[in-house]
C-alpha cells in the first residue's frame, strides 16, 4: 500500500491516525479481512457472508479480464496488497495468493459460492486440495455475523511501532 504522506497535514500522530482510518475504509470496501499465517501456511479470511461474497465477485471478474492476457497477469487485493490473484498455467494456492487459469478462477469462485450458501457465523470454510493438489498453502474463510466490520480484525501492529 502506498500512502502519499503529502496529503496529510498536521502532527505525525494525526497523519498516522489518517492512515489507519484510510486502511480501515479499504478493509470495509473489500468486505473482508485477510492475513497469511506462515507457520501453518494458511490464508485466513474473515468476514460476513455478504462481505466474503465480494471475493467470489473478485475471482469471477479476474477470470473475465485475464482471458486475453499473458501468464503472470495479477491483481493485488486489499489495503496491504499481499493477497494476489495470478494468471498461471496450473492452479495452486501459495503464500503469494491464488494461481490459475481463467477456468480455474471460475471454479474457485464456484467453490467459494457453494460454501457460503450454507455457511453460518462461527463456522469456517476450507479450500485446499479440492482446488489443487499442488498447493503450498491453503485458504480458510471464517464466517462472522452480518454486522461484522472487517477493519476490526486488523490489529494495526505496524501503526503501533
23 domain residue, yes or no: no
pLDDT at 45: 97
- Return per-residue pLDDT of the chain as tens, 161 residues: 444 444 444 445 566 668 889 899 999 999 999 999 999 999 999 999 999 999 999 999 999 988 777 777 889 999 887 899 999 999 999 999 999 999 999 999 999 999 999 999 999 999 999 999 999 999 999 999 999 999 999 987 765 65
pLDDT at 132: 97
Strand order across the 33-37 sheet: 33-37, 42-48, 138-144, 124-127
Greatest extent of the chain over all pairs of C-alpha atoms, in Å: 52
pLDDT at 158: 60
pLDDT at 159: 56
Residue 74 is part of a domain; what is its CATH number? Answer: 3.30.1360
pLDDT at 67: 73
DSSP string, 44-107: EEEEEHHHHHHHHHHHHHHHHHGGGS-TT-EEEESSS--EEEEE-SS-EE-SSEEEE-HHHHHH
120 domain residue, yes or no: yes
43 domain residue, yes or no: yes
pLDDT at 91: 98
38 domain residue, yes or no: yes
pLDDT at 1: 41
pLDDT at 16: 60
Domain count, the chain: 1
Q: How far apart are CA 5 and CA 62, in angstroms?
A: 31
Residue 39 structural domain = 32-150
131 domain residue, yes or no: yes
Q: What cell does 101 get?
A: 487459469
160 domain residue, yes or no: no
18 domain residue, yes or no: no
| Cα separations in angstroms, 41 against 33, 68, 96, 100, 135 | 17, 31, 10, 18, 10
Please tell me whether residue 139 adopts helix, strand or coil conformation.
Answer: strand
Determine contact, residues 99/88, Cβ cutoff 8 Å. Answer: yes
Residue labelled with grid coordinates 474463510: 141
Amino acid at each position: 500500500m502506498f500512502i502519499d504522506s503529502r496529503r496529510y497535514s498536521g502532527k505525525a500522530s494525526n497523519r498516522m491516525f489518517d492512515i489507519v482510518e484510510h486502511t480501515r475504509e479499504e478493509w470495509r470496501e473489500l468486505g473482508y479481512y485477510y492475513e497469511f499465517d506462515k507457520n501453518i501456511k494458511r490464508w485466513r479470511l474473515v468476514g460476513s457472508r455478504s462481505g466474503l461474497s465480494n471475493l467470489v465477485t473478485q475471482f469471477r471478474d479476474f477470470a473475465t479480464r485475464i482471458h486475453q492476457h499473458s501468464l503472470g497477469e495479477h491483481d493485488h487485493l486489499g489495503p496491504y496488497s499481499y493477497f494476489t490473484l495470478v494468471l498461471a498455467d496450473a492452479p495452486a494456492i501459495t503464500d503469494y495468493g491464488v494461481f490459475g487459469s481463467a477456468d480455474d478462477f471460475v471454479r474457485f469462485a464456484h467453490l467459494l459460492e457453494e460454501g457460503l450458501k450454507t455457511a453460518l457465523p462461527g463456522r469456517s470454510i476450507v479450500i485446499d486440495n479440492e482446488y489443487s493438489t499442488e498447493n503450498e498453502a491453503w485458504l480458510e474463510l471464517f464466517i462472522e455475523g452480518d454486522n461484522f466490520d472487517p477493519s476490526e480484525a486488523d490489529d494495526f501492529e505496524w501503526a503501533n511501532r
